[in-house]
Chain A
Amino acid sequence: MRLIDQNPGAPLLARFLREKWGFWRGCEEFVRSRKLPLRITCLTLTSALFLSASTPERHFTVYSVAANYSLPLVQREGRDYIGLLEILEPLGKVNAKSDGPRWRLRYNNVQGDFQAGKTRFRIQGRDADLGAKFLVENSRGLVPVASLSSLLPRFLGGPVTLHEESARLFIGNVATHFTASLASDNPTRLVFNFSAPVNPSIATEPGKLHMTFSHEPLVAPAAPTLTFGSKTIPSASYSETNGTAVVTVSSTIPVIASFSNDGRTVTISPSSAAAAAAQNTNPPASPTPTAPEPPASANTQQLYRRYFAVVDASHGGDDYGETLSNSLLEKDVTVALARGLRQELESRGITTLVLRDSDANLSLDQRAIFANADHAAIYIALHAASNGHGVRVYTAILPYGDDDRGPFRSWTVAQHGSLPLSRSTASAVAAELQKRQIPVRTLGAPLRPLNNVTGPAIAIEIAPQGSDLSQLTAPDYQQLVTSAVATAIATIHDQLGAAP
């Protein structure tokens, strides 16, 4: 300490260490003291101080033909700044050199010379203005976000569109447009059609459903608020914030979102319970359910069925399923199979919902809730495997205990009442596969969410017929399997449809 005090070149450091030393000494005494309530209060207050001091990170999203990506924004001198190198890096060959206050960036064949603290810069031998100071921090060149609309075209040689308020940048003609229209059938459905596949995250709150587009270059429709003249779904609005676009649907009844047309169509429709209520009474102004619902009781299941079959592409998002090969994941094979099976089923007149039509995270509970809420006549989960040959058709092995109590069904053994019909469905599917010379077995499996589905439910695991894993992605093999499954379902359609 004395050495630091005597060092005239480091007074700030000395003060800092003195204060810190005092602080740690205080902490030591504090920990040794036995005043527990005081200690807890102090810790809580300190934590609250730290938490309140942290501000949420702001993001800047860039959409381009090459890539869509998000970068962190920093606030300097009351303005939003962003790293110029980081913006250009995913778009082409780029390198930067820092030499004292001078900072030079080369993107493909375009060179820009900047100076820390100056608003002027040179690009391709010409002077230009940033509108605010250029900053260099740890050899990182920062430019004001507001300057990007004039700065980037000089490097990229093409137009960019900057949404400064919402921190979104569109490079070239990459925007995804959408339309929204009410389908006139009963119950009312709101159909969004997008010009490119989308995969928004869905969140609900009472009276509202939010679709947040983090990675899609979605742009506003002609008017930010769309009205539909419907009592159940009166309006939808578009907004942008912190690098994302949000579409909010207002509704007076609980609604759910489903995806189709390879992610180009999102349909907002009343949940089954709401639709059933709407058919019998006036629509209630109840909040949208966000938590897992208990399975519907048997006497309500006949009220409304939107889809006969629910096809579930297992895994998805962070859950890859089996890594079948270096370039092949189970989650990708199951999506392809699910789309194929939907096509085969619909060509036989069977209405089908594919639960996961994109690379989305969907919990096992959510999958069962969808199947139960729609009172699907058959739930089919699709899996793919490298192990074994041919196809395995599974029905649930129910866990021990958790019996139903009165009118309530236990979530873990919700499948109990439908297990005989699930087994006969599995047998019908196996028989059809056998007819087509595909090796097949029917087995039980402790495989969720089969045990949580109230109606008939099977899982189909598809392995290659031989040792060649590429057969899993071969359209002819996929069609051979999916057409056999669809034919079997069509054969026992009446039996399944009559089930409660």
Chain B
Amino acid sequence: MIPRHLVIAMVVLLVAVLGLSIYALHMRRTAAAAPVAAVDTRPLAPPVAGPTERVTLFVAHDDDGSLRAESAQIPLPSGRQQRAEELLRALVSLYLDKSSPHVLGSGSEVRSVFLVDPGVAVIDLNSAFADTHRSGVLVEDLTVTSLIHTISANTPGILKVKILVDGKQRDTLAGHADLSSFYDVTAVNQLATQLQ
């Protein structure tokens, strides 16, 4: 004869096992049904706080394929490199807004900017920036020109710019704009003038 308390314990354990199995099945189905985030949208660096400064951003407009100078008040750190980084992050954050005139894909981010003397700037974008970018000569041309013209106009002394994606060289931004070489800032600024 099995003691009564053992029977009760066995029944309780069986009920617990059954309940947990059903819960695990439910969780599995929920996880399978939930859409997987296409990109990691978490910010890569904390937002900069402190005194703000007025800067000029060169914003791309898809409707007429133009680049327009727009003033913005943004907090900027004191270091030259960090300033360049924050400047481009402010520009990209404009493009992440769905009502932006030149929408970039969700999760697009400037990972970092390196300024190397004499006159070299390296812009490191994250993979979501390139992977979700729309394809087309003009639309890619606008993005590249907007980034380079904004950084060179606000950071004197930059002669050439290299754009990396996730720290690595990539052939093109989204099938058209060449990322394999250093951009000549003078040539890009001439293009920016054409686009304004």
Contacts and interface: CB of A to CB of B under 8 A. Distances in A.
A388 B138 contact: yes
Contact of A448 (B180, B183, B190): B180
B165 to A, nearest CB: 15
Contacts of B137: 383, 385, 392, 394, 445, 447, 459, 461
Contacts, number: 92
Contacts of B76: none
A322 B134 CA distance: 8
Contact of A323 (B65, B135, B144, B181): B135
B184 A400 contact: yes
Interface residues of B, number: 29
Nearest to B163: A446
Contacts of A315: 175
Interface residues of A, number: 30
Q: Is the interface of B mostly helix, strand, loop or mixed?
A: mixed
Interface string A428-451: 000000000000010111111001
B141 A443 contact: yes
A444 B178 CA distance: 12
Contacts of A412: 181
Interface in B129-180: 134-139, 141, 144, 159-160, 172, 175-178, 180
Contacts of A383: 136-137, 176
B191 interface: yes
Interface string A366-407: 000000000000000001011110001010011111100000
Nearest to A394: B137
A478 to B, nearest CB: 18
Contacts of A401: 160, 182, 184
Nearest to B142: A387
B136 A445 contact: no
B63 to A, nearest CB: 8
Contact of B191 (A319, A330, A443, A451): A443
Contacts of B177: 445-447
B157 to A, nearest CB: 14
A321 interface: yes
B178 A443 contact: no
B187 interface: yes
Contact of A322 (B62, B136, B184): B136
Interface of B: 62, 65, 134-139, 141, 144, 159-160, 172, 175-178, 180-185, 187-188, 190-191, 194-195
5 contacts: A330-B135, A397-B191, A399-B178, A399-B181, A459-B137
